[in-house]
Amino acid sequence: MNQQENVIRPLKHCQNDTLLMRLKKWRPLLWLIPFAVVFYIFQLSPMVWVVTNSFSDGTQPSLDNYREIFDSTFIQQGFSHSLWLALWSSLIGLLIAALLVSSLRHLNNRIRDAVIAFTNMSSNFVGVPLAFAFIIILGTNGALTLILRQLGILDEFNLYGRWGLLTIYTYFQIPLGALLLYPAFDALKKDWQEAAALLGANTRQYWFRIALPVLAPALFGTFIILFANAIGAYASAYALTLGNYNLITIRIASLVSGDLFLEPNLAAAISVLLIAILALVTIVNQWLIAQSDHTKSRPAKHRPIRRKNHAKHESDLP
Determine the pLDDT at residue 174.
92
Percentage helix, strand, coil for the chain under 3-state DSSP, each rounded to 5: 75, 0, 25
Domains in the chain, start-ordered, CATH in brackets?
A: 42-71 (no CATH), 81-126+158-265 (1.10.3720.10)
> Does residue 258 come out as left (phi exceeding 0), alpha (psi in the -120 to 50 range) or beta?
beta
Q: Establish how many alpha carbons lie within 13 A of residue 170's alpha carbon, considering only the half-sphere containing its beta carbon.
A: 17
pLDDT of the residue at 171? 92
- pLDDT at residue 78, as a whole number: 92
Mean pLDDT by 10 residues, the chain (318 residues): 49 60 73 86 88 86 89 92 94 93 82 84 83 88 84 79 91 90 82 82 83 85 90 88 88 80 87 90 80 49 43 40
Q: How many helices (H) and strands (E) does the chain have?
A: 14, 0
Q: What angle do CA 243, 244, 246 make, to 5 degrees?
A: 85
pTM over 0.85: no
Using CB atoms within 10 A of its CB, is residue 93 exposed (0-12), middle (13-18) or buried (19+)? buried
pLDDT of residue 79: 92
Question: What pLDDT does residue 12 have?
Answer: 54
